[in-house]
Amino acid sequence: MPDAGGLHYEVHGPHDAPVLLLSSGLGGLAHYWTPNLAALARRYRVVTYDHRGTGRSDRTVPGDLTLEAVGRDMVLLLDTLGIARATLIGHAIGGMAGLAVALAQPERLERLVVINGWSRLDPHTARCLDTRLALLRDSGPRAFLHAQPLFLYPAQWISDHHDALQAEEEAMLAHFPGAEMVQRRIAAARRFDVDGRLGAVRVPTLVVVSEDDMLVPPARSERLAAGISEAQLARMATGGHACNVTRADHFNMWLLDWLDG
């Protein structure tokens, strides 16, 4: 099982191709990117991994869990694989941790893609996170996971994929990282604030926003794109918070076009 300092990772695509490092959101799991892998790995060396504290990675996260620490784990993974520079594609907190890397070690990033992320927590997102924490605290992990699609996907997509989502819920329950770890990850996302430092991000950045995101208002992505000098904003009218999953073909096409310049 490939391991980099406690991080479980997988590598797909040609060994000598440019590198894409994919980092998922709150769940932290590599399999989040399954709908995007085949298209990206045809032309790129794609690295996916489970965040520390989740999935097949080390479940112990010592010290303070921050998105800056998640970013340092990304650099550790690149170091282990002998990769000097990569394009980092992050969903939500994965993209926000990418912003932390862009600020601390910009020389490690060719480009950055942030999907439905933020530079400072929005009150609406805080309300959603409060609701999820209350479910976890008062009703337990199954209720927390059962409600998760409501925050990630559009209503019709949930209806159309009901059976698959039920199966995924059982799998996630079997590998749940524990209430304390989830609470720590949510706390890290809430504390993240680089709003006053966006002008210091010098990495070419694609900001992807879904207009019907239930969790993060589009204005948060607009703020990212306005504050980063080398940023481009790509809008999806539909797709929800996990738009790279629900509209994978569209997302893959957009992303590959942008990567091709």
User: Mean pLDDT across the stretch 68-85?
Assistant: 97
**Residue 112 domain flag:** yes
Say if residue 24 is exposed, middle or buried (CB neighbours under 10 Å; 0-12, 13-18, 19+): buried
Which band of pLDDT confidence, cut at 50, 70 and 90, is reported for residue 138?
Answer: very high
Determine, yes or no, domain membership for 40: yes
Q: How far is CA 224 from CA 26, 40, 190, 228, 233, in A?
A: 19, 25, 16, 6, 9
Residue 210, both tokens:
């879904």
177, part of any domain: no
Range 232-246 average pLDDT: 97
CB of 16 closer than 8 Å to CB of 83: no
Model confidence over 34-69: pLDDT tens digits?
A: 999 999 999 999 999 999 999 999 999 988 899 999
Tell whether 207 is covered by a domain.
yes
45 located within any domain: yes
The tens digit of pLDDT for each residue in 171-193 reads: 999 999 999 999 999 999 999 99
Question: How far is the C-alpha of 55 from the C-alpha of 87, rounded, in Å?
Answer: 23
How many folded domains does the chain comprise? 1
pTM above 0.75, yes or no: yes
Residue 250 within a domain? yes
CB-based burial, 211-241: b 16+ in 10 Å, e otherwise: ebbbbbbbebbebbbebbeebebbebeebbb
Residue-level pLDDT at 3: 84
Question: What's the confidence (pLDDT) of residue 220?
Answer: 98
Provide the domain limits for residue 234: 3-119+192-259
Q: What mean pLDDT is reported for the chain?
A: 97
The per-residue pLDDT for range 95-104, each reduced to its tens digit, is 999 999 999 9
Asked, for residue 139, whether it belongs to a domain, the answer is: no
In tens, the pLDDT along 142-174 reads: 999 999 999 999 999 999 999 999 999 999 999
CATH assignment at residue 202: 3.40.50.1820
Domain presence at residue 246 = yes
Determine the pLDDT at residue 1. Answer: 56
Task: Read off the pLDDT band of 128 (50, 70, 90).
Answer: very high
